[in-house]
Structure 1
Amino acid sequence: MVASADSIVPNHPPNSALSTVNADSADLEGFGYQPVLHRKLGRYASFAAGFSFVSILTTIFQFFGFGYSFGGAAFFWTWPIVFAGQFLVALNFAELAARYPISGCIYQWSRRLAGELVGWFAGWMMIIAQIVTAAAAAIALQVVLPSIWSGFQMVGTDSALTSHDGAVNAVLLGSILLALTTLINVVGIDWMSRINSLGVTIEIIGVIAVIAVFFTHADRGPGVVMHTDQAAAGPYWGAFLVSGLMAAYVMVGFDSAGELSEETKNPRQVAPRTILTALAVSALGGGLILLGALMAAPSLTDGSLSSGGLAYVIEAKLDSPAGKVVLACVACAITVCTLAIQTAGSRLMFSMARDGRLPFSERLAAVHPRFGTPVLPSVVIGVLGIGLLVLNLGNAAIFATLASVCIVTLYLAYLLVTVPLLVRRIKGWPAEDRTSESGAPLFALGRYGIPINALAVVWGIAMAVNLAWPRPEVYTPAGGSWWMLWAAPLFVLVTIGAGAVVLRFVTPATPRESAGPLAQPA
């Protein structure tokens, strides 16, 4: 009889002489993998990985003006709607993180639920999404740094991202940041964790400060969120759907705690909690920022809120030194956001390479003996991210285009987990409740698993369609070719096609898991 994946959870007595790290290593060996990464991350560092990927200061600063320009003040309601949908996905991910605490979680979860082919495409699409997401996050420095000091505008004088000068300068700043985060990722998880945790702490302080400033300098009441008079022309439901892309761009990446499972202490207990906590805390803080900004904006009608976003409100409500301190917090958030995305992507690439599922797998799976990091995946993601920015040099629509194509790809990768999981649930997964190596029960949805999973699938499909829809106002706001308008679906097709080509030249994964984690119960 071959054991199932869920039946290989080691159950050590509570007073076991094994240390936590040794028990975690033994747990990983049960999946057929030798521990080679350094297990250094505690609960806060694990939370910080997910929180910094979501990075509400980074993404709300990037996209507030976008959301407001389409939906007016009532676009606020897209935030709780998207949170509710994404929390359904996060609940499923938390249950999987408790049962498969392995790096490269989207790939690992998908292949254990649906087999090698589906798992490979889930991992491939996630890698592509993370490379593009890292590039999109890095160029957010353009939204902040020139406002702190004009010297950061090294190209021309117009710092707006939608201008030629702003787009070129954004590529320059983003490339510098990607080079820095690559270096940090190479030198070890210790440095990455310290910098990321420090950055997240600064970001949380910045979030609290921004909320406090907005609510203590409000010009109108919370009823502003019912205003639709500044919405784009046409039926409001259409404008509302477009404005919802802002929240969809923000609330992703909460699965990063799962990506770092092999570097987290007691991951079966820690990762599920930090996945849910990172998303919930981000949603609460982001919702208060949105509400506060709408209440505190000097004007809702002069166009400044659409063009300047949160930076416009902060600069209007704070004197110059205090405002620049808050903007510096945002710059820190952008830095650790880019760092976290690159870290998660490198672990996913390492996990796939370890199974022989990528070109040059042997080199990509190599871990530096001193730093304990997969060096080459970090370098590859950094170089490809910079290359992507250079390819878009001078494109005034770079921001919306990069954001849309990477997020729709990421949502599709999530679907390649939630859809197979729903199929497995209908067939009886999980067969029974399990406990961790310490004897504590694993996170489980129980009888609510199927309805929550089914809603998560419906949500994911709806959002993927909404994100990829070829809207001129999103993809070609200043005019452009047909391929720019269809950038998202074309990007997905190219990604799948390129993946099919790559798959033909990689060695199939070997049945390394002696305990049979891919097998069904006999």
Structure 2
Amino acid sequence: MSTPLTDSSPAEPPPSAPDSGPELQRTLGGFQVFAISFAFISVAVGIFGTYGEMLATAGPVGIWLWLIAVVGQTLVALVVAQFAARIALSGSSYQWASRLANPKIGWLFGWLTFWFLAIAVVALDSALASQAFMPLVGMDENEDTARIITVVILILQAILVIASTRLLGLITSGAVGVELAIVAVLVVALIGVVVFTSSGDVSNLTSRGVTEGNSSYYAIGGGLTAGMLMGLTTLVGFDSAANLAEEAKDPFRSVPRAIVASVVAAGVAGFLFLIALTVAIEDIDAISKSGSPVAAIIRDQLGPVMERILLAAIVFAIFGAGMVVMAACSRQAFAMARDQRFPAHKLMRKVNPRTQTPIFATLLILVVGVVLLLVLPGDALLKLITASTLLPAIIYGATVILYLVVRKRLEHKEGGFSLGRFEMPIAVAALIWVVVALFVLVTPGDSTASNVIVAGLILLGGVYFAKMMIFNREVLETEPSGGDAVDAVVESTE
């Protein structure tokens, strides 16, 4: 039976959980922490799933928009890292806002983050089933079959996430290694084939492809704007390392470094991959109409055997990414439940004494995913998944604003991560970028349904928030101390 557990590890005690409540085991090394953030971003997987949409909306030339997204998301990551260097608790932005603004604002951060992560698990595993696993084993397209496979994947991931945080770290590290190998091998192979067979075309890098002649291409919400969605939807989740901060060794240094390094590494690897793919296109019109353009390019240039190898590697990479998202989401629920601010908090806050993982919080993510797959029809599920791309932009924007408001209350830890004199210009630039990103996400004509879903999730949260305010108000009035897991935070003067 799962019971609250206090870790009794000897030697140097790690940063403790709030008020010595349920604690997680500190087992993740520096590379494993980096791997968690990088695996969440999952650059090869992100490009695999969004490259076709980019070709259809912005054309091949749209890959240059990736660089803009990399710079913008790196600015946000630098701000997020500033918080991670000072508060090393599961729940990331929920903890930061709760302790530096007030618990009520922090709760909203936590609620939005939970739903972003919960939906992202379904999105990743749905893509794994339909875009990678089924083509790999030669199964025909079938939505019902894809949903059944997705449920099986969710169950397997839940079992592994519950089993051990160390196992999670090993699998995600392996997934990152495979993903980097995919990108490196394909970049070299594709460029080599193009150079030696003259089968590609460098002019693709400036071609508008099927969007040539589109009168709304440069309009607000038009093709060029929509082309930026590839970077915005892929380069997110880098803060997942902060969501597992209580399970990281030396979190005040390893977590912020992992956050920034994962975005930079993903940005560079992704751009090289995009260059190679785009140059290797032989028939832009045919590839743009393909259901899986990346796989089609690989098949055309490297043959069906390489395509199979690619799909097998992609299956493993997406599976590892899904595990990371599920783990991060369960820690989000755990952190809020530990503070009695989450539904069924008495169950969700429990840590199993044997596995040192929050079993019920992990099972909740599994249940949410299965319910969404069983209840929502195809179009509604697609709209929900699309809506999840708006949530991180809202969360990151609110995080940057929070930093600008409270930054003077934060002291710098000796030897810890710090932006020094550049923190203010970076934070302001990050805020400008987030405003641009939100504009890009909400302006496309087909975004109305997604915007409504996000509003609905906020409204649902408002109902539970009102319940707490009426029946359990005290939990939103005070904040647990956090012990030495909250470092260098200076209380504001009254």
Same fold by TM (over 0.5)?
A: yes
- In structure 2, the residue matched to 1:339 is 323
Which ranges in structure 1 are unaligned for 5 or more consecutive residues?
Answer: 1-18, 160-164, 436-440, 473-484
Whole-Å Cα distance in 2 between the matches of residues 465 and 236 of structure 1?
Answer: 16
Given that residues 187 and 276 in structure 2 are in contact (C-alpha distance below 8 angstroms), is that contact kept between their aligned partners in structure 1? Answer: yes
- Residue 257 in 1 paired to residue 241 in 2? yes
**1:410-444 Cα deviation digits (max 9, x unpaired):** 2112222111111223xx243x4322xxxxx1111
Shift of 1:446: 1.8
Counterpart pick for 1:463 among 437, 453, 461: 437
* Inter-partner Cα distance in structure 1 for 2:238 and 2:280: 29
State the AA in 2 paired with 1:172. I
Checking the alignment, whether the CA contact within 8 Å between 1:110 and 1:416 is kept in structure 2 is: no
Check conservation: 2:204, 2:281, Cα contact below 8 A: no
Whether contact under 8 Å (1:122, 1:413) holds in the other structure is yes
* 2:146 is the alignment partner of 1:170: yes
Contact 2:62-2:227 at 8 Å conserved across structures: yes
1:514 shift after superposition: 7.7
What TM-score do the two structures reach when normalised by structure 1? Answer: 0.85
The total of aligned residue pairs comes to: 468
Alignment deviations for residues 105-149 of structure 1 (CA, whole Å, 9 cap, x no partner) = 121112223211111001100101111111111111211123222
CA contact (8 A) 1:73 1:225 kept: yes
Residues 6-35 of structure 1: per-residue CA shift (max 9 Å, x gap): xxxxxxxxxxxxx9985452x336x64457
| Structure 1 residue 243, shift from structure 2 partner | 1.3
- 1:496 is the counterpart of 2:458: yes
Structure 1 residue aligned with 2:114, among 127, 138, 141? 127
Cα contact 1:404–1:468 (8 A) shared by 2? no
Q: Deviations over 1:160-208 (max 9, x none)?
A: xxxxx3x333322222211111111111212212222222212221221
**Residue 447 in 1 paired to residue 421 in 2?**
yes
TM-score by length of 2: 0.89
1:103-114 equivalent positions in 2, closer than 5 A: 103-114=90-101
Contact 1:21 1:265 in 2 (8 A): no
1:415 is matched with 397
Distance in 1, Cα, partners of 2:398 & 2:101:
9
The alpha carbon displacement at 1:398 in A equals: 4.5
- Paired residue for 1:281? 265
Letter in 2 for 1:416: A
How far residue 519 of structure 1 moved from its aligned partner, in angstroms, is: 3.5
Secondary structure at the counterpart of residue 101 of structure 1: coil
Q: Indicate the residue corresponding to 1:62 in structure 2.
A: 49
What is the percentage of aligned positions where both structures have the same residue?
27
Residue identity opposite 1:423 in structure 2 = V
Give the distance between the partners of 1:488 and 1:514, measured in 2 at CA. Answer: 36
CA–CA separation in structure 2 for the residues paired with 1:21 and 1:108: 26
Give the conservation status (yes or no) of the 8 Å contact 1:299–1:305.
Answer: no
Structure 2 counterpart SS, 1:486: helix
Match of 1:434 in 2: 413
Q: CA RMSD in A?
A: 2.2
Counterpart CA distance in 2 for 1:147 and 1:379 is: 29
8 Å Cα contact 2:124-2:322 kept in structure 1 = yes
Contact 1:108 1:119 in 2 (8 A): yes
List runs of 5+ in structure 2 lacking aligned partners: 1-7
1:199-210 equivalence runs, <5 A: 199-210=175-186
Q: Deviations over 1:328-348 (max 9, x none)?
A: 111111101111110111111
Give the AA of the match of 1:110: A
1:184 aligns with 2:172: no
- Contact 2:131–2:292, Cα closer than 8 Å, also in 1: no
Residue of structure 2 equivalent to 1:353: 337
- Per-residue CA shift, 1:286-342, capped at 9, x if unaligned? 111111111112211235565332011111122333321121111111101111110
Report the equivalent of 2:5: none
Distance change (3 Å), C-alpha of 1:169 and 1:199: same
Quick check: 2:82–2:417 contact (8 Å CA) kept in 1? yes
1:234 corresponds to: 215
1:85 aligns with 2:100: no
Letter in 1 for 2:265: V
- Conserved? CA contact 1:144–1:327, under 8 Å: yes
1:7-406 → structure 2 map (5 Å cutoff): 22-23=11-12, 25=14, 27-28=15-16, 32-34=19-21, 36-141=23-128, 142-150=130-138, 153=139, 157=140, 159=141, 165=142, 167-218=143-194, 219-231=199-211, 233-237=214-218, 238-304=222-288, 306-395=290-379, 398-399=381-382, 401-406=383-388
Change (3 A) 1:40 1:466: same
Residues 64 and 306, structure 1, Cα contact 8 Å, conserved in 2: no
Higher mean C-alpha deviation, range 380-389 or range 76-85: 380-389
- Aligned residue in 2 for 1:520: 492
- Whole-angstrom CA distance in 2 between matches of 1:20 and 1:339: 26
Deviation at 1:213, TM superposition (A): 2.0
Moved more, 83-92 or 299-308: 299-308
Asked if structure 2 preserves the Cα contact closer than 8 Å seen for 1:304 and 1:312, the reply is no
**Partner Cα separation in structure 2 for residue 291 and residue 20 of structure 1:** 49
User: Are the counterparts in 2 of residues 168 and 394 from structure 1 also a CA contact under 8 Å?
Assistant: no
> For the structure 1 residues 423 and 21, does the alpha-carbon distance in structure 2 shift closer, same or farther, using more than 3 Å as the test?
farther
Aligned to 2:3: none
